Amino acid sequence: MKLIHSEQHAEQTSPALESAIVALPNDADPLALPLEGVTRIDLHFPKFTDGRAYSQAFLLRRRREFKGEIRATGDVLVDQLAQMQRSGFDVAVLRADQPLERAQRVLASYPGFGVGRYQGDAVQVAPHFAPDPAESAS
C-alpha cells in the first residue's frame, strides 16, 4: 500500500487527470458507479469511526472487479491501514497529524496480514496456504 500525506494528494490531482478520477461520496452505491474511463476512485472517511468506505472499496474490488487505484482520503489514521489494505485500497492519504514513518512501521508489522496469507481478502481471495484449484482438477 502506498502512503502519502494530504499535501501530496492535492499536488497529485492535476486538471488533466480529473476526468479519470472519481470522488465517490460516502453514501453512494459503488455498484451503480459507471467505471468506463475511470483510473482512480477516491473514497472518503469523514471520521475514522465511519467505515462505509471499507465496504465501498470491497465491493469495487470484488463485485465490480475494478483494477484501478482506490485511494482512502479524509480522517485516515495509521491504525486503519492494515484493514484498508485488506479491503482493497491501494493508497492511503494520511491525516496531517499522522507520521509517515509510523505508518510504514505499522504496515511492515503485518506482512502476512495484508497479502492474504491467513485469510482471503478483497484482493487476494484465497488464503496463501489454500490448495490450488488447478492442481486438484488433475
> What pLDDT is attached to residue 90?
93
What is the mean predicted confidence (pLDDT) over 6-33?
Answer: 79
Length, in residues, of the chain:
138
Residue 13 has pLDDT above 90, yes or no: no
Place of cell 451503480: 32
CA distances from 84 to 11, 43, 134, 137 (A): 22, 11, 30, 34
Q: To the nearest whole percent, how much of the chain has pLDDT over 70?
A: 72
Confidence of residue 60 (pLDDT cuts 50, 70, 90): very high
What's the fold here for domain 2-123?
TIM Barrel (3.20.20)
> What pLDDT is attached to residue 14?
56
Quick: pLDDT tens for 81-136.
988 998 999 999 999 999 999 999 988 886 655 444 555 555 655 555 555 555 55
- Cβ-contact 61, 123 below 8 angstroms: yes
Q: What is the DSSP string of the chain?
A: -EEEEHHHHHHH--TTTGGGEEEE-TTS-GGG---TT--EEEEEESSTT--HHHHHHHHHHHTS---SEEEEEES--GGGHHHHHHHT-SEEEE-TTS-HHHHHHHHHH-HHHHTTSSS--SSS-S-TTSPPHHHHT-
